[in-house]
Amino acid sequence: MTVRSLPAIAAESHPSRRRRWTSSLAGWGYAAPTALFVLIFFVVPIGIVARMSVSDWKLFTGDQGWNSGKNFRSALDDGLLWPAVWFTVKYTVVTTVILLVLALGLALLVQESSRWTGFLRTSFLVPSALGLASASLLFYALYSPQSSPLLGFTDKPISFLGTPISALWSTVVLIVWRYAGFYMLLLLVGLQSISGDVYEAALLDGANRWQTFRRITLPLLRPSLALSTIMCVTGSLLAFDQFYILTKGGPDNSTITIVQLVYNSAFQGRNDLGRAAALSILVLGALLIINVVQFRGLRGKEN
């Protein structure tokens, strides 16, 4: 992104120091609110969480001083940690694959603009206007044994949230419903940036539909697909609302995600902020590594 700022241009043509200084002072003046917000509510908290992670720091007693890595050991020794990691990864893979395949299908379906596809686009997009918590509450009622309209089809009651496997899939359905339109839109933007000439050339060369899709659409869609994948993976790894509302981590702690574990450490039962901070630093580190790997993987093949 090239930035041609006016005062800079002005300063080049009239190389006066005073003017340059006034310009950067004004710039800082306008950037000051952003800088203050970022400092107070982002940089300082990062510092606090780092210190918290190596301190004996309970919810009600506050900071009791350095405890030499005990928080990290306690977080790693938790019997719920590895099942939660495994479940979160499983959930992320399932959600990302289903969501992106479906979103790509929907995007291809509605890419030509007409009144009918306009209606389809809006229908697919409406769920993404809802909050994740509202959508989860909606599906909580939809899945309930008392009020569910989905039970009319069978004599035997279906338990949507009763077993670990059904709870996972029921949540995936909710997430796919809520986000399919969102990712469809992201991919649609990518599809529409592919020039029509390319398709025309393919048509002249006698490529069939599948060849066109495989050899032209998919490669040219790579940037949008990469962005969608990274957003979907990151979002799913940090899943919280949907499980907090739908399953509360049950049945039998089978649907506890990592962020839920952080929340529980800090505010439920243990009230141990130090341990929660240690765990969330580990999560942050893992997330950074995963994103770097994704960036490399998704970018690398392109060049």
Partner 1 sequence: MLRTGSRVLTGALALLFLFPLVWAAVASVSPQAGTAQVHGWGFGNYQTLANYQAGIGQYLLNSTAVSLMTVVFTLAVSAFGGYAFAMFTFPGRNALFLVTLAILMVPYATLLIPLYVLLNDLGLQNSLVGLSLVLTMFQLPFAVFMMRISFEAIPGELRESALIDGCGNFRALLHILLPAVRPGLVTVGIFAFLAAWNDFITPLVLISDSEKVPLPLAVANMRQQVMGIVDYGATEAGVVVLALPCIVLFLALQRHYVRGFMSGALKG
Sites for partner 1 among residues 275-294 (CB under 8 A)? 276-277, 280-281, 283-284, 287-288, 291
d(CA 158, CA 22): 70
What's the min distance (Å) between Cβ of 210 and partner 1? 18
Helix (H) or strand (E) run with residue 154 in it: none
Looking only at residues 240 through 259 of this chain, which bind partner 1 when binding is defined by CB under 8 A? 240-241, 244-245, 259
Nearer to partner 1, 102 or 207 (CB): 102
- Residue labelled with tokens 């399953």: 247
Alpha-carbon 242 to chain mean position: 13
Site for partner 1 in 95-124 (CB under 8 A): 109, 116, 119-120, 122-124
Contact positions with partner 1 (CB under 8 A) in 22-41: 23-35, 37-38, 40-41
> What stretches of 24-135 adopt beta strand conformation (E)?
55-58, 62-66
Sites for partner 1 among residues 178-207 (CB under 8 A): 180-181, 185-186, 189-190, 193
C-beta closer to partner 1: residue 60 or 205: 60
149 binds partner 1 (CB under 8 A): yes
Q: Would you give the DSSP letter of residue 129?
A: G
Report, in Å, the least distance between residue 174 CB and partner 1: 9
Residue type, position 263, single letter: Y
> CA-to-CA distance for 184 and 122, rounded, in angstroms?
11
Q: What would the x/- binding string for partner 1 be over residues 39 to 68, using CB under 8 A?
A: -xxxxxxxxxx--x---------x------
Find the shortest distance in angstroms from Cβ 151 to partner 1: 13
Per-residue DSSP letter, 126: G
Determine, following the binding rule CB under 8 A, whether residue 137 of this chain makes contact with partner 1. Answer: yes
Strand spans (E) along the chain = 55-58, 62-66
CB 213 within 8 Å of CB 136: no
